[in-house]
């Protein structure tokens, strides 16, 4: 039988995989999308939510490029909240609770509409390579043996999340699994290791799930969403759906005592877990043991859907034995009678040290092999999706011999993400923070489309509908900036000033100025808020943006100087062996990137710079 | 960041006073900088020496008469266009020339950077370029921080404390932005504003004290002026004779100024003996007097020597007038002879805070002069407890840090966005870390997780 042939094969249909597959398909490639189960497409095995600080930025950027995530959450979100609403526009970030099942279904439907995507149900056992080029993948047989069906392609995007040698811990019980109840991928892990990719082991965890019907919600404070939800997607005019409330509670001293009493039974504390967990997402054990003086910790009860009974206990992730977990749940005031549907667990998994990848997410030594998502050491659906869309675009381009698609640190959080991962690697699961972006004031959710939609259009991801909408918005933005710059207005205190200047005052608002004389702006129906916001921020940040722009120009001198691929560092006069090793391992693409490699000195970079020329 | 395509400048001769001192400029802008800081500007010919004046960019006044040699690249030490400006060996003047060059667009070179460029341009091989080691040591972030932390002394202590405070504030502000829903109140806007203002003030005080620090490190020039035969030479002998700690004794190379360096309680003081200043028609003597006045203007302080045994005349009074705005010590000499006038009733003399009556014959009164001179020097700095910063590069960085902190403090107090406050605080942090050693990009995040229990 002749093997099935594709342009691009995507392994895994999680948040990275679906974006990669969709992007490649939209760019005209025939895509084979391999998944273990149709029921876990764009699955949320942990927190049923999308967004959050900096993560919301990533979603906006994915959306601006023409990706799925923004529209998916807008269509299936059940509680929306704009974080940092009272703070500056650069750090406002949307977050939403998802109806977990509907979210996955929405994404699966969207992919089903892509004619170029072929679904392949099965477990990939290895990536096939000939002469350092990917030739496709091989599946396991129906009985789980190696040597099943072969699929051919010139690019493979591996998005296997926590499945590579996954090991789930619940107390003393250890089960090989990618997620609770789903067997891990061992053969694929070995196949990737055999290709010479460097490895590490990480750990993450999730809390127990409770039965909604067994909880007395009247005992808790309500945590509602925003009254006027701000959508993630530039394509969503408004979110009209009814929103749910979450509920808030706190741990107690008794809970802390119980954790301490049982700490020896936690695989995190008895040495059974070797992988490194995320510090920004500490387990209950870590919270109690590492911060003994904090009297109580936040917990939020989050429904996993509008009409499901599963409730996610946010802030209560743990890997203690199931019976201890149950006791810990019952120890919380209000949850005395709660039914635990499934216990929390910790999962250890192999990840590829992403310094082995280029900023396109292509592995350095294997042409056509791309990796994206949690397999690269990140955590979070948004980080995964962000890598997925960029990897998908690059896989699609690679098979056509086209130029790589790389976003700069000054263009997008997606650029920061790719640069951080491939330059510095991961010592713990990587999560995006706004503080990682040195050009934070520039990389905002309100201008994500102005920054990226054109790039998405060039890449072939942005359809006509989105493009038309974007052009309208960009036209209004540019026109409004002109008008604000050129209009003199009367301020509340009677003085007159240029509207643009007036807006630099902390308390000045553009909307207020439009109510007075002379300043008439072009605002689209239903988009007034978004239109006003971008223009106002343009002026509020003006002085700072100029300085940030100057810093970008300075940095660009180094960012624009490319180091040829395959550049030999060993033996370069003046370069210490340690530097040469570090540089060889990371293979920076530019002098600017080389400067960001931990431990590499400016002098070493100058030596390289002298050799590669201007 | 460390660039190799800009123009750098530094004092090329060893620190401290000397007969002559050389300021070296290297890079593509060298010629343009020459045009900006040299009188004329002169037409520079390759590998020829040109006599001209270095100018203060602020007011175009001459800083020093200098000899400039121009080496166009690639036939130069670094392989780039190079200027070598030879001036008189006063650290004060050389620093002013460097300042003029940086104002004209040059960057202060890192230690060893000229040699490094020479290596990059293929002018020397690596074996010769041992100085690169200095550069490596100076700019390796971790090493620099470790080295900084191991340093002792009030100045590093104070900079370190400010740096830690800024860093801690940055971490808390970042935490408030990245973790708004953790139930922590990381930072209070108004308190942060006050804290930033106080940090700015501390940095500014360090900068102000830097003058005092430089005084100790590089010493200062003190011009000794007076009519002929009032006892200037005796004063020299007295100061040098009592404390035999002469560092150098150099006759000025191109002008008839004699300099002696003495150790005044740790401050190297270069005494510049001047030709007697008086009205004259003799051309050579007039030129000597002109130079004496120039030295007087360049000096950090002046010692005016008067003779009590002869009546004060117009020349004495002119000197007292000319020096009235400068830090000065008035020495009323020849106390042992019958007085021709009384210092206490001459307003011009009586008004001088630093005044001493002496008898300098045979080195007598030397102790009194040393004490008076020291009082004058110390009065110029700030209080003794203020730690002193004495490195020119560090002072530049502190000035930048103070400016960034000042920019950050007002918006912080006014409750403007944390992200804007942080934009300036980060700039201050970068400047401070140039001194204390850079932190990794992860450091802020690590700091947050260390202090706060973040995440659900």
Measure in Å the smallest separation between the Cα of A173 and chain B Cα atoms: 24
Same domain, B20 and B129: yes
pLDDT in tens, B90-135: 777 888 898 899 888 898 887 777 877 887 777 766 545 544 554 5
β-pairing, B301-307 vs B267-273, is: unpaired
Rg (CA), chain A: 25
The reported pLDDT for the residue numbered B251 is 36
Are the beta carbons of A314 and B120 separated by less than 8 Å?
A: no
Q: Which of B126, B137, B178, B430 to mutate to test the interface with A (most CBs of A within 10 A)?
A: B178
Q: Which of B423, B439, B440 to mutate to test the interface with A (most CBs of A within 10 A)?
A: B423
Are the beta carbons of B419 and A607 separated by less than 8 Å?
A: no
Confidence class for position B387, pLDDT limits 50, 70, 90: very low
Measure in Å the smallest separation between the Cα of A408 and chain B Cα atoms: 17
Q: Is the pLDDT of residue B281 over 70?
A: no
Distance from C-alpha of A367 to C-alpha of A388, rounded to nearest angstrom: 17
Same domain, B257 and B365: yes
Same domain, B118 and B31: yes
CB B198 within 8 A of CB B297: no
Q: Is the pLDDT of residue B46 over 80?
A: yes
The reported pLDDT for the residue numbered A332 is 95
The reported pLDDT for the residue numbered B133 is 55
Q: Is the pLDDT of residue B397 over 90?
A: no
Are the beta carbons of B415 and A596 separated by less than 8 Å?
A: no
Q: Measured between beta carbons, which residues in chain B are less than 8 angstroms from residue A314?
A: 456
Which CATH number is B285's domain given?
A: 3.40.50.300
Q: Which of A51, A291, A435, A445 to mutate to test the interface with B (most CBs of B within 10 A)?
A: A435
Are the beta carbons of B1 and A554 separated by less than 8 Å?
A: yes
Q: Which residues pair with A310 in a beta bridge?
A: A211
Q: Measured between beta carbons, which residues in chain B are less than 8 angstroms from residue A596?
A: 441
- Tokens representing B83 are 């200027």
Same domain, B130 and B260: no
Are the beta carbons of B417 and A603 separated by less than 8 Å?
A: no
Domain count, chain B: 2
Q: Is the pLDDT of residue B216 over 60?
A: no
Same domain, B125 and B262: no
In a domain, B29, yes or no: yes
In a domain, B188, yes or no: no
Are the beta carbons of B441 and A424 separated by less than 8 Å?
A: yes
Which CATH number is B130's domain given?
A: 3.30.1360.120
Nearest CA in chain B to A318: B456
Q: Is the pLDDT of residue B374 over 50?
A: yes
Closest CA to A237 of A509, A469, A510: A469
Closest CA to B361 of B292, B309, B304: B309
Closest CA to A318 of A309, A328, A307: A328
The reported pLDDT for the residue numbered B260 is 73
The parent domain of residue B249 ranges over 216-380
Closest CA to B331 of B310, B354, B313: B354
Q: Is the pLDDT of residue B276 over 90?
A: no
In a domain, B456, yes or no: no
Task: List the single residue in A424, A435, A440 with the smallest CB-CB distance to B445.
Answer: A435
In a domain, B419, yes or no: no
Task: List the single residue in A278, A601, A606 with the smallest CB-CB distance to B140.
Answer: A601
Confidence class for position B246, pLDDT limits 50, 70, 90: very low
Q: Measured between beta carbons, which residues in chain B are less than 8 angstroms from residue A297?
A: 453
Q: Measured between beta carbons, which residues in chain A are less than 8 angstroms from residue B411?
A: 506
Q: Measured between beta carbons, which residues in chain A are less than 8 angstroms from residue B449?
A: 279-280
Q: Measured between beta carbons, which residues in chain B are less than 8 angstroms from residue A603?
A: 2, 116, 132, 135-136, 139
- How many angstroms separate the Cα of B252 from the Cα of each of A560, B34, B35, B96, B166? 51, 25, 27, 19, 47
Same domain, B26 and B119: yes
Q: Is the pLDDT of residue B139 over 60?
A: no
The reported pLDDT for the residue numbered B140 is 47
CB B37 within 8 A of CB B64: no
Are the beta carbons of B132 and A574 separated by less than 8 Å?
A: yes
Q: Measured between beta carbons, which residues in chain B are less than 8 angstroms from residue A90?
A: 417, 419
In a domain, B423, yes or no: no
pTM of the model: 0.80
In a domain, B399, yes or no: no
Q: Is the pLDDT of residue B232 over 90?
A: no
Q: Write down the ipTM of this complex.
A: 0.89
- Quick count: other Cβ atoms within 10 Å of Cβ B164? 12
In a domain, B222, yes or no: yes
Query: Which domains does chain A carry?
Result: 209-348 (2.40.30.260), 471-545 (1.10.10.1800), 560-612 (1.10.150.570)
The reported pLDDT for the residue numbered B456 is 61
In a domain, B44, yes or no: yes
- Tokens representing A106 are 């929405």
CB B26 within 8 A of CB B114: yes
Same domain, B102 and B236: no
Q: Domain boundary at B316, B347, B380, which?
A: B380
Q: Domain boundary at B363, B380, B397, which?
A: B380
Location of structure tokens 């029921």: A39
* A-B contacts at Cβ under 8 angstroms: 121
Same domain, B123 and B223: no
Are the beta carbons of A574 and B129 separated by less than 8 Å?
A: yes
- Provide the CB-side half-sphere exposure for B437 (13 A, CA): 19
Are the beta carbons of B454 and A544 separated by less than 8 Å?
A: no
pLDDT in tens, A228-249: 999 999 999 999 888 999 999 9
Task: List the single residue in B181, B418, B423 with the smallest CB-CB distance to A544.
Answer: B423
Same domain, B239 and B103: no
The reported pLDDT for the residue numbered A606 is 80
Nearest CA in chain A to B424: A544
Distance from C-alpha of A495 to C-alpha of A537, rounded to nearest angstrom: 22
Closest CA to B377 of B292, B273, B296, B300: B300
Location of structure tokens 């010479």: A196
- Positions of chain A with pLDDT under 70: 1, 613-614
The reported pLDDT for the residue numbered B249 is 37
The reported pLDDT for the residue numbered B319 is 85
Task: List the single residue in B415, B440, B453 with the smallest CB-CB distance to A294.
Answer: B453
The reported pLDDT for the residue numbered A62 is 98
Q: Measured between beta carbons, which residues in chain B are less than 8 angstroms from residue A598?
A: 440
Q: Domain boundary at B320, B354, B380, which?
A: B380
Measure in Å the smallest separation between the Cα of B86 and chain A Cα atoms: 29
What's chain B's average pLDDT?
Answer: 77
Are the beta carbons of B456 and A573 separated by less than 8 Å?
A: no
């Amino acid at each position: 039988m002749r093997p099935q042939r594709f342009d691009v094969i995507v392994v895994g249909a999680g948040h990275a995989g679906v974006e990669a597959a969709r992007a490649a398909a939209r760019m005209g490639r025939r895509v084979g999308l391999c998944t273990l189960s149709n029921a876990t497409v764009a699955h949320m095995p942990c927190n049923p939510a999308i967004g959050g600080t900096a993560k919301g930025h990533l979603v906006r950027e994915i959306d601006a490029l023409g990706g799925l995530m923004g529209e998916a959450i807008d269509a299936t979100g059940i509680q929306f909240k704009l974080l940092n609403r009272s703070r500056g526009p650069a750090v406002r970030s949307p977050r939403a609770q998802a109806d977990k099942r509907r979210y996955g279904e929405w994404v699966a439907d969207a992919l089903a509409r892509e004619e170029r995507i072929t679904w392949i149900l099965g477990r990939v056992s290895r990536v096939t390579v000939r002469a350092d080029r990917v030739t496709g993948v091989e599946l396991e047989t129906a009985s789980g043996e190696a040597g099943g069906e072969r699929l051919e392609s010139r690019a493979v995007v591996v998005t296997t999340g926590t499945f590579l040698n996954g090991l789930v811990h619940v107390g003393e019980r250890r089960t090989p699994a990618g997620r609770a109840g789903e067997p891990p991928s061992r053969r694929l892990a070995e196949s990737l290791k055999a290709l010479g990719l460097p490895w590490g082991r990480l750990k993450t965890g999730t809390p127990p799930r409770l039965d909604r019907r067994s909880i007395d919600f009247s005992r808790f404070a309500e945590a509602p969403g925003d009254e006027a939800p701000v959508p993630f997607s530039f394509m969503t005019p408004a979110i009209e759906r009814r929103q749910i409330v979450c509920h808030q509670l706190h741990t107690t001293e008794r809970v802390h005592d119980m954790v301490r009493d049982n700490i020896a039974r936690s695989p995190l504390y008895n040495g059974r877990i070797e992988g490194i967990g995320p510090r920004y997402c500490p387990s209950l054990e870590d919270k109690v043991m590492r911060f003994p003086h904090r009297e109580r910790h936040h917990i939020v009860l989050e429904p996993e859907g509008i009409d499901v009974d599963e409730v996610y206990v946010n802030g209560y992730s743990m890997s203690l034995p199931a019976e201890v977990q149950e006791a810990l749940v019952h120890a919380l005031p209000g949850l005395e009678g709660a039914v635990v549907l499934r216990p929390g667990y910790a999962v250890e998994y192999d990840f590829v040290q992403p310094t082995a990848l280029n900023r396109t997410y292509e592995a350095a030594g294997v042409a056509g092999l791309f990796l994206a998502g949690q397999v690269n050491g990140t955590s979070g659906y948004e980080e995964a999706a962000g890598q997925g869309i960029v990897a998908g675009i690059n896989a699609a381009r690679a098979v056509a011999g086209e130029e790589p698609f790389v976003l700069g640190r000054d263009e997008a959080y997606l650029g920061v993400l790719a640069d951080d991962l491939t330059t510095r690697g991961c010592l713990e699961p990587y999560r995006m923070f706004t503080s990682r972006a040195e050009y934070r004031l520039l990389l905002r959710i309100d201008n994500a489309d102005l920054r990226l939609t054109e790039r998405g259009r060039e890449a072939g991801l942005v359809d006509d509908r989105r493009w038309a909408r974007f052009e309208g918005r960009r036209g209004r933005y540019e026109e409004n900036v002109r008008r604000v710059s050129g209009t003199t207005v009367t301020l509340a205190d009677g003085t007159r000033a240029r509207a643009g200047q007036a807006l630099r005052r902390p308390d000045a608002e553009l909307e207020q100025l439009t109510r007075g004389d002379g300043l008439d702006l072009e605002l689209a129906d239903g988009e007034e808020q978004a239109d006003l916001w971008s223009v106002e921020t343009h002026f509020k940040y003006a002085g700072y943006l100029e300085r940030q722009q100057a810093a970008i120009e300075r940095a660009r001198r180094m960012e624009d100087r490319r180091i040829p691929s395959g550049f030999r560092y060993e033996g370069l006069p003046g370069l210490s062996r340690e530097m040469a090793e570090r540089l060889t391992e990371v293979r920076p693409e530019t002098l600017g990137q080389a400067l960001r490699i931990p431990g590499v000195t400016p002098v070493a970079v100058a030596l390289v710079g002298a050799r590669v020329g201007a | 960041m460390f660039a190799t395509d800009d123009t750098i400048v530094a004092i090329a001769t060893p620190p401290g006073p000397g007969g002559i001192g050389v300021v070296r400029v290297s890079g593509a802008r060298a010629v343009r900088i020459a045009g900006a800081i040299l009188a004329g500007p002169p037409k520079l010919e390759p590998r020829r020496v040109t006599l001209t004046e270095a100018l203060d960019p602020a007011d175009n006044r001459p800083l020093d008469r200098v000899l400039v040699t121009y080496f166009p690249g690639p036939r130069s030490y670094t392989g780039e266009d190079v200027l070598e400006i030879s001036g008189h060996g006063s650290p004060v003047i050389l620093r002013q020339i460097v300042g003029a060059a940086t104002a004209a667009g040059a960057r202060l070179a890192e230690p060893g950077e000229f040699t490094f460029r020479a290596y990059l341009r293929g002018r020397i091989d690596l074996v010769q370029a041992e100085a690169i080691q200095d550069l490596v040591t100076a700019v390796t972030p971790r090493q620099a921080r470790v080295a900084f932390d191991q340093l002792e002394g009030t100045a590093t202590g104070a900079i370190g404390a400010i740096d830690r405070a800024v860093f801690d504030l940055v971490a808390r502000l970042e935490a408030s932005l990245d973790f708004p829903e953790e139930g922590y109140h990381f930072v209070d806007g108004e308190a942060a504003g006050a804290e930033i203002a106080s940090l700015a003030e501390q940095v500014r005080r360090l900068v102000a004290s830097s003058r005092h620090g430089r005084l100790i490190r590089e010493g200062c020039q003190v011009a000794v002026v007076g009519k002929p035969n009032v006892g200037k030479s005796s004063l020299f002998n007295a100061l040098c004779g009592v404390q035999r700690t002469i560092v150098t004794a150099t006759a000025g190379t191109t002008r008839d100024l004699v300099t002696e360096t003495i150790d005044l309680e740790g401050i190297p003081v270069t005494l510049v003996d001047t030709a007697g200043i008086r009205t004259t028609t003799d051309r050579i003597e007039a030129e000597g007097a002109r130079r004496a006045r120039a030295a007087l203007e360049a000096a950090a302080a002046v010692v005016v020597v008067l003779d009590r045994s002869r009546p004060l005349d117009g020349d004495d009074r002119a000197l007292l007038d000319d020096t009235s705005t400068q830090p000065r010590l008035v020495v009323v000499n020849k106390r042992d002879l019958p007085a021709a006038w009384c210092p206490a009733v001459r307003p011009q003399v009586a008004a001088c805070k630093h005044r001493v009556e002496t008898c300098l014959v045979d080195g007598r009164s030397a102790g009194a002069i040393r004490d008076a001179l020291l009082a004058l020097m110390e009065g110029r700095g700030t209080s003794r407890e203020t730690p002193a910063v004495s490195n020119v590069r560090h002072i530049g960085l502190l000035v930048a840090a103070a400016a960034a902190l000042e920019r950050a403090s007002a918006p912080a107090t006014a409750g403007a966005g944390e992200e804007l406050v942080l934009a300036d605080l980060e700039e201050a942090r970068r400047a401070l870390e140039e001194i204390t050693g850079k932190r990794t990009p992860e450091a802020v995040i690590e700091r947050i997780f260390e202090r706060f229990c973040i995440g659900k």
